[in-house]
Structure 1
Amino acid sequence: MIQQTLQGIIRRLRRWLVWLWQQEGTPGQRARGVAAGVFSGCFPFFGLQTLLGVALASVVRGNHVLAAIGTWISNPITYLPLYWFNYQVGSALLDQGQNEFDLTQLNSQNLWAQGWTFSTRLLLGSSLVGASVALFASCVVYGWLKGPAKTRQRFYRRRSQSKHD
């Protein structure tokens, strides 16, 4: 039972990899699409990440479908750890002695100041983390797509065999 489930997951992964290889564009365009999506997915703009990723992919001439998929780096499972990490990175760079919020001192007069402090740290951290992760993801995808032809042939051969099983 477990072995069949594992084989099913591996089969789906192989199909997804073949689908990725068959996407429109050069390896560079596909890698730029993934990078645009991953970069956009690192920002806390819920509901707009996919639109931003596709728009950025248009600017860098990347694959739009892969850009939309790349935004899935942020999802309900990764929201909290990703944005917490982004905030920590921004705080480390902008540390001006006010790293923690004092909610006991929160009133209408300093609400905007604390909101601005939080937002700038989160957006700066999101920019840096997004750029770093996007660069890494695009290098991995590009290297994988430009990899040895034997690797691709092996996946195609396994795919055609699994269809006949």
Structure 2
Amino acid sequence: MWTRFWQFLWPRMGWRRYATYLRHRLVRMPGTSHTVAVGFAAGAAMSMTPFMGFHFILSAAFAWFLRGNILASAVGTIIGNPWTFPVIWVVTYEIGCWLLGIDAHAVSIRGHTVAEVMHDPWGVLSPVLLPMVLGSVPAGVVVFFATYWPAARIIDRYRRQRMERRHRRALAMMERMTAANSGGTEER
């Protein structure tokens, strides 16, 4: 159990190789580059929400709504991970407080017991959760477009290069076959 948790925090293959693996998974997904990029961006955008544990479900629903690739949305949720969540939470909270016009440092959920939180979770958590939810909307929009365009370009470029490689191989094979056939008929 501990090793799985550690692998989640720090991949055994290393971050660079893990990123390369995810890129390969993304560019080889079925669908157009637009649908795959929309799915990926939907997953990244939903990672901005404070609803940990529901990012996969939210991103799948959002990708379905936008007619994007649902599997790509699951890959996009990698943007939200234990290393980025603290930054995401602070940013969305600050944006939400700014939008609501409240002082971000005036609100605190400290000093509450577990019993108080269980008895009235909305009353205890809403001073923090409401600004985070509100702040996640503009943050999600920015992240959506910041991830959509690069993902679409990467997918387009990969698929174009792959098609060109296949075309070159097919031409080379046809030339070899033509040379082999013409060489055999001249000798007879």
Residues 40 and 49 in structure 1, CA contact (< 8 A), matched pair in contact too = yes
Return the match for 1:56 from 62, 66, 69: 62
> Any residues of structure 2 matched to 1:84-123 within 5 Å, and which?
84-97=90-103, 99-101=105-107, 115-123=125-133
TM-superposed CA distance for 1:23, in Å, is: 0.8
> Any residues of structure 2 matched to 1:16-165 within 5 Å, and which?
16-97=22-103, 99-101=105-107, 115-147=125-157, 152-153=161-162
Which one-letter code corresponds to 2:86 in the other structure? Answer: L
Residues 33 and 65 in structure 1, CA contact (< 8 A), matched pair in contact too = yes
Shift of the 104–116 alpha-carbon distance from structure 1 to 2, 3 Å rule, reads: closer
TM-superposed CA distance for 1:55, in Å, is: 1.4
TM-score (norm 1): 0.71
Shift of the 91–19 alpha-carbon distance from structure 1 to 2, 3 Å rule, reads: same
Question: Whose RCO is larger (CA < 8 A, sep 6+)?
Answer: 1
Matching residue of 2:170:
none
TM-superposed CA distance for 1:103, in Å, is: 6.4
Identity %: 26
Residues 107 and 127 in structure 2, CA contact (< 8 A), matched pair in contact too = no
The structure having more radius of gyration, on CA atoms, is 2
Residues 39 and 130 in structure 1, CA contact (< 8 A), matched pair in contact too = yes
Structure 2 residue runs of 5 or longer lacking an equivalent are 1-13, 167-188
Shift of the 132–11 alpha-carbon distance from structure 1 to 2, 3 Å rule, reads: closer
Residues 54-79 of structure 1: CA distance to partner in whole angstroms, max 9, x if unpaired?
11111111111110111121111111
Structure 1 residue runs of 5 or longer lacking an equivalent are 1-7, 158-165
Which one-letter code corresponds to 1:75 in the other structure? Answer: N
Count of residue correspondences: 146
